[in-house]
Amino acid sequence: MGGFDHLIEDYQRLLGLRSEAVGRVEQGRDYLEALETALSGLERLWADLLADPRFRLALAESPHTPTALLAWLASDSEQEVRLAVARNPSAPAPTLRALAGTWAGRLAVACNPCTPAEVLQGLAADGDLDIRLALAANPNTPAPVFARLAHDPELGVRRRVALNPSTPPRLLLVLAQHQEGPLHLALLRNPNTPAQALEAVARSDPSLAERARRHPNLAPPRPPAQADRPAMPEVMSLSLEGRTNLGRRERGKPSRAS
């Protein structure tokens, strides 16, 4: 955790202490005055730090920054700070929606893997290629948006849908029917491609059949190792043990010729 994260914690802790102390006669005036002095010093320090755009950028990038502070930074005068908030995994949905008013903001929000599905749904109608590419690669993209992107005119968008482990299996099967090599290769790299889609790829392109068979969703089950095999039933074990002991006794008997 960076130094500014500790500043946030200290400021919040002092605010909490002041809130608890106010109204308690037993705390005493000296204690409250000490708290107010500490808070005033921290507030002056915050004012000085926030005047530096580099510090605001560091706050905007930190996942530990409180959501209220991220909402404040979302209206920063520096675009780099605003875009860092849009990429922040801790940014709340209302803040992300507010940042989606510009192309750069929409792209940053679409690239954020923690953007809520309902916010991504709102970006689905955007005709910009870069935003469609970002949505196709986002693990939080909702199924209706994936369904739309799976029929996108751009091969690059469809390829990202085929690569995305969050794409619904039925859509992966639809993509496997396309006679397009890049889609087939992407499906082979997706760990969640269903067996039916892998078989379709193998039929469509025999040169990929061996790779399809090696996919974990299509590969035959591994034979159990020695340690995994079921134990011998107790009756069989006793029977074998009895035959072994009998053989030992037979070997110990003197021969008739002697």
Question: Across 42-46, 188-192, 223-227, which has the greatest mean pLDDT?
Answer: 188-192
DSSP for 109-149, written as a single string? HHH-TTS-HHHHHHHTT---HHHHHHHHH-TT--HHHHHHH
Q: Which amino acid is at 184?
A: H
CA pair distance 19, 27, nearest whole angstrom? 12
> What tens digit of pLDDT does each residue of 137-195 get?
999 999 999 999 999 999 999 999 999 999 999 999 999 999 999 999 999 999 999 99
CA pair distance 91, 96, nearest whole angstrom? 7
Predicted local distance difference test score (pLDDT) of residue 28: 62
Predicted local distance difference test score (pLDDT) of residue 163: 98
Cβ–Cβ < 8 Å for 178, 204:
no
> What tens digit of pLDDT does each residue of 51-74 get?
889 999 999 999 999 999 999 999
Predicted local distance difference test score (pLDDT) of residue 246: 46
> What tens digit of pLDDT does each residue of 140-150 get?
999 999 999 99
**What is the band of 112 on the pLDDT scale with cuts at 50, 70, 90?**
very high
- Nearest Cα residue to 111 out of 123, 101, 98: 123
